[in-house]
């Protein structure tokens, strides 16, 4: 994943947990994907990538071009992807969430 500048998910089949998106985020890549499934929770529009309506290939192409033509934006979105993955989807974030729930349930 380190050999590309932008991760593109052109799948039209909604996946509740597209791990390839998480892997790309953990690699610090901006994301362009169709707006469906779990990707809508992973990609925050205009922060770490772009979400496009399903089958709108022209718009997807435009969003890809925006990132390919703007290195600073690619870097910013990539950094945001990495931070978002660590904050919301990393093992440590899940451990912290479970610990919080357990503490609330046991009133400790």
Which domains are delineated in the chain? 7-106 (3.40.50.2000)
56 C-beta neighbours (distance < 10 Å), count:
13
Per-residue pLDDT tens for 21-54?
999 999 999 999 999 999 999 999 999 999 999 9
- H/E segment holding residue 9: strand 7-9
pLDDT band, very low/low/confident/very high, at 107 (cuts 50, 70, 90): confident
- 108 has pLDDT over 70: no
Residue carrying the six token digits 């205009």: 46
pLDDT at 1: 63
Q: DSSP 3-state assignment of 50?
A: strand
- Residue 3 is predicted with a pLDDT of 84
pLDDT tens digits for range 58-84: 999 999 999 999 999 999 999 999 999
| Region of 35 on the Ramachandran plot (φ > 0 left; ψ -120 to 50 alpha; else beta) | beta
2 pLDDT above the threshold of 80: no
């Amino acid at each position: 994943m380190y050999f590309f500048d932008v991760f593109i998910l052109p799948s039209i089949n909604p996946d509740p947990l597209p791990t390839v998106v998480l892997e790309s985020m953990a690699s610090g890549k901006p994301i362009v994907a169709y707006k469906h499934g779990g990707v809508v929770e992973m990609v925050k529009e205009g922060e770490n990538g772009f979400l496009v309506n399903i089958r709108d290939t022209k718009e997807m192409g435009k969003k890809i071009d925006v990132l390919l033509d703007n290195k600073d934006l690619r870097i910013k979105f990539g950094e945001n992807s990495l931070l978002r993955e660590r904050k919301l989807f990393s093992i440590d974030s899940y451990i912290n969430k479970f610990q919080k729930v357990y503490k609330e349930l046991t009133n400790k």
